[in-house]
Structure 1
Amino acid sequence: MRLFLYLWLVTSIWACLAAAAPRTIAKRGSSSFVSSSKDGFSVNGSSLRFVGTNLYWLPTLDSNDDISNLLKNISDTGIKVIRIWAFNDVETIPESGTWFQLVQNGTTTINDGPNGLQKLDTVVQMAEQQGLYVIMSLTNNWNPVPNTTTSSTAIPEVLASVTSPRNTLSNDYGGMDLYVRQFGLQNHDDFYTNNQILTAFQNYTKQIVLRYLNSPAVFSWELANDARCNSTIPTSPTCTTQTITKWHAEMAAFIATIDSNHIVSAGTSGFQCPDCPKLYPITPTASPTPSPAPGKKRRSVAPLTKEQIIRQRAESRRQNRAAAKRAGTLKEDGIKIRGRWVSTATREVSSSIGPTTDGSSGVDSQDILNIPNIGFGSFQVFPDQNLYAPNDPNLSPVENKINSSLTWIQQSAQSAAAVGKPVVLNGFGLVTQSNLNDFVPFNMTYAPYASNTAVMDFTTRSGFAGNKRQQSTSEFADDSEQEQGYSSFLQMGNSAGLAGIMQYQWGSTGITQSSSAVQLDTTNSPAPAAATVDSPNDGYSIANNPAIQQILQQGVQAMAQDS
């Protein structure tokens, strides 16, 4: 039943998109740097559509051999693009480990040493040797600090910083909230508007951009991961979608003045706001329709609308209900009169389109994508942390997550097509029951499902789909459901014409452990062998998971065939 629903949905949405926006490959210019156009990406005169992966932690590894081996293993699967954090901000200089920038008391200092930007140099050089391109993200929306309060009104957290080394979690690299705290400000959105912070961030950005100005291994400069109005630090009442759009425009223009080789990209979650006022509205000439395939009529791609979202949800629920009824699994509501069910509840879909599409996060990805200096857009698929549509009672919790994600992929592709620029799914992931001990939501500092977490309270944290209630472990995918979900995400992304699809996140075993964590023998006995561990994991790692790696490899082949 589940597999039927997945395949039916993928096939039906693919048919709609194929009719709406037939794709053609235009003649490409020749350059060793990646370029973007309405037809997608190109390098050296050839089109580039890709399956990629995320390794935010790669520059923090101690061993260059580990970095080299990881990149070779990734390249051997056919993956072409990786995405990493090109930032690592600290408030105080750590005793050991990697850090790129000290942000302290309103001043910044860049670390150009062997445990600083030289580690980033190594990653870029080794990626180029393996024929890989690197998306370089320049800051992060998320940098929560542990809550150590033990009063009766607060919930003590199991701190990741106690049980895991620094940089284990994707949100443990500094970022926007660190700037706000260290510049003595109060609101998260001060990062986007305060002149001192803007100058400091531009200074860091300039150092990174100029450092790799002539490297063809850099795919793009991603301005920020998941930028939005809200984070752990409160937002101000004045933060709107135009606040975030304006910041992207300013930063993209700044980079364009110092680097004409590389494209600039947005790294948002893809949140939409059809009804929000635009700084960069779509005009009839801004989105030329590609030439139709033989035998097809020329069709324009309309922007996403609130009405369309509500209509799609209603139709999806109707079809799911019909499929469940045919399969004999329909969950009837109401009372039975003369052998027939009479509903006692309305079946209408709510007119509220939800936080991913109503602008409440301060993100209008379509408006950001239409900024002239933005080369391509992004969106993400993390249904364990974001609710993309109301749950359908005819589907199981995991089916709802996968079903809503597929529709989200479709909507994101349509939104980008209306602008006439490429869009990349720059991170997708499903948390499995076997990964729950390591799962740390992007706006938390601890693993709420870990066996040593006595109390789980999500009411004080934002950015987590379960923040109003305690989720059951059965609401998370098992290994088989994850494999089905990932296959369907890749198939939908390819069918919808995405320019790239990136899994979150890669994983590996046998990583050399930091020397500071190894107990050295002070006697005259031989030195012990270096300890090894798994790569960092915030709940999405695919270490020890050859099935997912094979699915990614199949996705690589499918994207290549359809290019």
Structure 2
Amino acid sequence: MKFSSLFTTLLASAAIVGAAFTPTPTKTKRWDKGFVSVKNGQFIRNGEPFTFLGTNAYWLPSLNTIEDINKTIINIRDHGFTVIRTWAFNDVAEIPVNGTWFQHIANETLTINEGPNGLQKLDAVVKLAEEAGVLLILSLTNNWNPLPAIDNTTEVSVDVPLGRRDVTVGTNNSLPRNTLSNDFGGMDAYVREFGHKKEHDEFYANQTIVELFKNYTTTIVTRYKDSPAVLSWELANDPRCSSSINASISCTTLTVTDWHTDVGNHVSSVDPNHIVSSGAGGFPCQNCPKRFPVTPPPTVSASPSRRKRYVKPFSMDRHIREEKEERKKTREVKKRELLQRGEGLRIRGRWIASRQADTGSIQTTGPSFDGSTGVDSQDISNIPSIGFSAFQFFPDQNDYSILGNDPNLSPVDNTIKQGTRWIQIQAELAGQINKPAVLTAFGVVTNDNLPFFVPFNETTPPFPNGVNSSVSSLQKRIDAVNGGVTNTEQNTMYTTWIQAAAQQGVSVNFDQWSQSGLTTNQGSTVSQPNEETTDSTTNEETTGSSPNDGYAYTAPTTGDVQDVLTSLTSLFG
């Protein structure tokens, strides 16, 4: 079906609130070419193994017109990206005047919006992806939904000129709803309405909430279970024990694993055609108790047409040893550099580099490996209903180091090194259970993007006018280079990590796509400019761009990262 006819059909159905979406009927089974499956540790599409380089666009279903959704999907495809990860949820406590919403959670009831500003938008995403040959990872909820003015009982302050905008109550910002990835509702929207103690892990353990969420997943999954465009149902983005709402003291890694088992089995029972995935951040915990202990997978001979992926068996002890050996090498390089510059300490007439702490006896690991996030992604990935091992990499918000930063490397080089090792670890973990690995989202914040950057657990930019506080590894890099990561450094980082992923058979979705030339609508994701800045003398139609939470690749002066990413698509397929 051509887009023009599809658009006409959708406009006609838009007049009927609650009209049901009917995907293209198919009798294809999971192992046939219509659906992506997993076999021998690889994705199979059209009977052949494949890997992919894709992108994130959490805001895609919330665009104002069907044409804009189509334009975005086509542009993504034409740049060589074959998978889009987006939100298949949009929860609101108050029904908005403008914009898209999928589910109203209020007065201890749930109401799903199947109208033209509801699930019909998601219908369009799925149908247009089918026509474009693009695959979708559809995430069903989010760990992050901070509302500091509600959860922390502080007052909301919205500037008068922006007061007419459709702003989510409690965010303490004036951004239009759905601008940030954490402004679509999610786990805490359920907890605020139905939780007894208002603790984040009630989403996992309160059976009333669990059943309500299952009901929502049933609606969404049933709606698209026959679509070949769906690559996987992602149960949740970055699930953890806590969020902006604290967790109870009883929440452990097993709490989150058990929830994945329960909901994963439910989704698989509703839709046996598609893969189910976690969306976890990738935090393994070797010493945490397991529901699904790892046993070595049977050795499978590679067929002539199959790309053989070789990775070492995972061992945290081995990575600690390798990290120490690498630091010895970087220490020697640093010492030579200091000696050449005449720096360091002079003892008995000889120059030596300044003494550093001995890491030889260090055996502890960083917070991404000790279970402190309340997640054991190694255990989650080994759940039978989970089809692939998911992980993320956002070094500006999480510490991925094993033994802390290497003092002999620059902040940028430390980040590059940690990202490469993180990918290696995840490939090894996936290899242990004979499942594919997917870096579902990654990104670094550039100097150009600093004013737009909002952490996932916050609602306002920490650096609206540049750097003004000392937080995270981002600040350390900024302090070191007087302004943040340059576009060239970003290109180097992305190239290094994507090449490392491709070499180890890991698929990748970068964060995030940026689309210009979009239709504006006041109070929506793509809103009109302020009246004060609008040229009233022009008759040209005003257009806007997709949201930027600090990871969009087209900030005002961004370099050629899009060209770099497109060039790397040749490594996948």
TM range (shorter): 0.7 to 0.9
Q: Deviations over 1:153-184 (max 9, x none)?
A: 99999997643211000000001111111114
After superposition, residues 247-262 of structure 1 pair within 5 angstroms as 247-262=259-274
Equivalent in 26, 37, 40 of residue 38 of structure 1: 40
Equivalent in 438, 443, 447 of residue 433 of structure 1: 447
Instruction: Measure, in 2, the Cα distance between the counterparts of 1:520 and 1:181.
Output: 33
Equivalent in 504, 509, 516 of residue 509 of structure 1: 516
Q: CA deviation at 1:312?
A: 2.5
Q: Is the 8 A contact 2:225 2:273 kept in 1?
A: yes
Decide whether aligned partners of structure 1 residues 337 and 471 sit closer, same or farther in structure 2, where only a CA change above 3 A counts.
Answer: closer
Decide whether aligned partners of structure 1 residues 532 and 519 sit closer, same or farther in structure 2, where only a CA change above 3 A counts.
Answer: closer
- Unaligned 5+ residue runs, structure 2? 1-29, 160-169
Decide whether aligned partners of structure 1 residues 373 and 52 sit closer, same or farther in structure 2, where only a CA change above 3 A counts.
Answer: same
Tell me the SS of whatever aligns to 1:433.
coil
Q: Deviations over 1:372-408 (max 9, x none)?
A: 1111111111111111111111111121111111111
Q: CA deviation at 1:323?
A: 3.4
Aligned position for 1:539: 550
* Aligned-residue identity in percent: 45
After superposition, residues 2-401 of structure 1 pair within 5 angstroms as 30-147=32-149, 162-185=173-196, 186-284=198-296, 287-291=297-301, 304-326=314-336, 335-338=345-348, 339-341=350-352, 344-348=355-359, 350-389=362-401, 390-401=404-415
Q: Is the 8 A contact 2:487 2:559 kept in 1?
A: no
Q: Is the 8 A contact 1:29 1:44 kept in 2?
A: no
Decide whether aligned partners of structure 1 residues 451 and 138 sit closer, same or farther in structure 2, where only a CA change above 3 A counts.
Answer: same
Q: Deviations over 1:303-332 (max 9, x none)?
A: 533322321221222222233345558999
Q: Is the 8 A contact 2:156 2:171 kept in 1?
A: no
Q: CA deviation at 1:341?
A: 2.2
Q: CA deviation at 1:519?
A: 8.6
Which letter maps to 1:116? G
Moved more, 270-279 or 546-555: 546-555
Q: CA deviation at 1:487?
A: 0.4
Moved more, 464-473 or 534-543: 464-473
Instruction: Measure, in 2, the Cα distance between the counterparts of 1:233 and 1:472.
Output: 33
Which letter maps to 2:501? G
Q: Deviations over 1:479-499 (max 9, x none)?
A: 10000000001100011221x
Instruction: Measure, in 2, the Cα distance between the counterparts of 1:355 and 1:241.
Output: 13
Q: CA deviation at 1:119?
A: 0.5
Tell me the SS of whatever aligns to 1:225.
coil
Instruction: Measure, in 2, the Cα distance between the counterparts of 1:472 and 1:520.
Output: 36
Q: CA deviation at 1:558?
A: 1.5
Aligned position for 2:565: 552
Equivalent in 427, 436, 448 of residue 413 of structure 1: 427
Q: Is the 8 A contact 1:426 1:503 kept in 2?
A: yes
Decide whether aligned partners of structure 1 residues 107 and 528 sit closer, same or farther in structure 2, where only a CA change above 3 A counts.
Answer: farther
Q: Is the 8 A contact 1:49 1:559 kept in 2?
A: yes
Decide whether aligned partners of structure 1 residues 141 and 329 sit closer, same or farther in structure 2, where only a CA change above 3 A counts.
Answer: farther
Which letter maps to 1:509? S
Which letter maps to 2:510? Q
Decide whether aligned partners of structure 1 residues 154 and 183 sit closer, same or farther in structure 2, where only a CA change above 3 A counts.
Answer: closer
Instruction: Measure, in 2, the Cα distance between the counterparts of 1:236 and 1:149.
Output: 15
Decide whether aligned partners of structure 1 residues 474 and 72 sit closer, same or farther in structure 2, where only a CA change above 3 A counts.
Answer: same
1:478 aligns with 2:486: yes
Moved more, 35-44 or 260-269: 35-44
TM-score in terms of structure 1 length: 0.84
Instruction: Measure, in 1, the Cα distance between the counterparts of 2:150 and 2:104.
Output: 24
Q: Is the 8 A contact 1:429 1:504 kept in 2?
A: yes
Moved more, 41-50 or 411-420: 41-50
Instruction: Measure, in 2, the Cα distance between the counterparts of 1:332 and 1:54.
Output: 48
Aligned length: 517
TM-score in terms of structure 2 length: 0.83
- Unaligned 5+ residue runs, structure 1? 1-27, 459-463
Instruction: Measure, in 2, the Cα distance between the counterparts of 1:252 and 1:34.
Output: 17
Instruction: Measure, in 1, the Cα distance between the counterparts of 2:144 and 2:35.
Output: 30
Q: Is the 8 A contact 1:106 1:184 kept in 2?
A: no
Decide whether aligned partners of structure 1 residues 247 and 149 sit closer, same or farther in structure 2, where only a CA change above 3 A counts.
Answer: closer
Q: Is the 8 A contact 1:518 1:530 kept in 2?
A: no
Tell me the SS of whatever aligns to 1:74.
helix
Q: Is the 8 A contact 1:58 1:67 kept in 2?
A: yes
Q: CA deviation at 1:102?
A: 0.9
Which letter maps to 1:140? N
Which letter maps to 1:427? A
Decide whether aligned partners of structure 1 residues 341 and 198 sit closer, same or farther in structure 2, where only a CA change above 3 A counts.
Answer: same
Q: Is the 8 A contact 1:440 1:448 kept in 2?
A: yes
